[in-house]
A and B are shown apart, each in its own frame.
Chain A
Amino acid sequence: AQRVTQPEKLLSVFKGAPVELKCNYSYSGSPELFWYVQYSRQRLQLLLRHISRESIKGFTADLNKGETSFHLKKPFAQEEDSAMYYCALRETSGSRLTFGEGTQLTVNP
């Protein structure tokens, strides 16, 4: 069965520092990976997906099939990046998303 692991429940960095939120997955097929973000008092929203290879709000994530990872990175964190981040995997044949347990990122001034 597929599984998504986010090893850090909490991550705290200073403004301007690089940040990396880790995500590892296990899935026997070829997965599709996503990052979702939930800002305080707001709903969960899609941040980026690996197939788009895009950069959103300065964040990027590269799918590493060899290491089965999809870490989220940003070179210079901003205070407004403070939020809960969820990594998610979708099976190639299905519709449902499997979520990790989330990482609460706090960017300190």
Chain B
Amino acid sequence: NAGVMQNPRHLVRRRGQEARLRCSPMKGHSHVYWYRQLPEEGLKFMVYLQKENIIDESGMPKERFSAEFPKEGPSILRIQQVVRGDSAAYFCASSPRDRVGDTEAFFGQGTRLTVV
């Protein structure tokens, strides 16, 4: 089991472009969480998804950000028309149940997005 895989590890985008961040959960995990870490800040919850469903998106900015977790394939966090303030590390976590921390939650190594 390779663990939670995020790619790319580093992503550079110009202002106005789109950024797509991918997260492949651990085998057998059907719950995915996305967190964002801005420079000098802690991890902030963005969205919680199960296969084909968004369960909690209360941490997602209202515009330009979207997330999906299709039946097949990885979870995708999509940021449209990126701005410099989107530069951050984006972490994905997966769990086999719907309570992160109830069982051990596994985190990916993150994608560091830089907007130039």
Question: A residues near B, CB below 8 A?
Answer: 4, 6, 32, 34, 36, 42-46, 49, 86, 88, 90, 94-102
Q: Chain A residues near B40 (CB, 8 Å)?
A: 101
B108 at interface by CB-CB < 8 Å: yes
- B76-106: which have CB < 8 Å to A? 91, 93, 98-101, 104-106
Residue among B56, B98, B104, B105 with max Cβ neighbours from chain A (10 Å)? B105
B69 at interface by CB-CB < 8 Å: no
State in angstroms the CA–CA spacing of A100 and B91 once bound together: 15
Q: Chain B residues near A44 (CB, 8 Å)?
A: 43, 91, 93, 107
Question: B residues near A, CB below 8 A?
Answer: 3-4, 31, 33, 35, 40-45, 48, 55-56, 58-59, 91, 93, 98-101, 104-110
- Supposing A43-B107, A44-B91, A94-B56 touch, asked if A99 and B100 sit within 8 A by C-beta, the answer is no
